[in-house]
């Protein structure tokens, strides 16, 4: 659920970049076209279960994050939402870290074989 916040910001930035494509700077235009090409390559590729087919989608979220940083940082800072949003995300990640740290370690199914060898 925490990662969906990043996906939502990337989608918002992508929509904003598409709406104002002709008035954006060159970096935003290149990132937008790259995002479109990668999404099209992933969709055209077909079956995502085929080995080696996931590399087309791997760069979509980082490119979306770069778009969000370039296009939405000013909007969030002007609305004074930057510090509360960062605090919320940091709190969620801290909660996930604590949850994973207190989980009991699963039993190693090969421990008896390793001890015997």
The DSSP H or E segment spanning 51 is none
In this structure, which long-range contacts are made by residues 14-23, counting pairs with CB atoms below 8 Å and at least 24 apart in sequence?
A: 14/64, 14/67, 16/71, 16/72, 17/67, 17/71
Q: What is the pLDDT of residue 85?
A: 77
Cα 12–Cα 40–Cα 73 angle in degrees, nearest 5: 20
- 43-75: pLDDT as tens digits: 887 666 666 566 677 888 899 989 988 998 888
- 69-112: pLDDT as tens digits: 899 888 877 888 778 878 888 898 899 899 989 988 888 888 88
Domain boundary assignment for the chain = 2-116
- 9-39: pLDDT as tens digits: 889 999 999 998 988 899 999 999 999 998 8
Cβ(54)–Cβ(110) under 8 Å? no
């Amino acid at each position: 659920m925490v990662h969906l916040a990043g996906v939502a910001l990337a989608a918002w930035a992508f929509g904003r970049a598409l709406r104002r494509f002709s008035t954006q700077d060159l970096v935003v235009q290149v990132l937008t076209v790259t995002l479109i090409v990668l999404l099209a390559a992933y969709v055209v590729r077909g079956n995502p279960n085929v080995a080696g087919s996931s590399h087309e989608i791997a760069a979509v979220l980082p490119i979306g994050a770069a778009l969000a940083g370039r296009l939405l940082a000013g909007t969030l800072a002007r609305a004074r939402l930057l510090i509360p949003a960062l605090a919320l995300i940091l709190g969620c990640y801290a909660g996930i870290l604590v949850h994973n740290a207190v989980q009991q370690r699963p039993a190693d199914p090969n421990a008896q074989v390793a001890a015997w060898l």
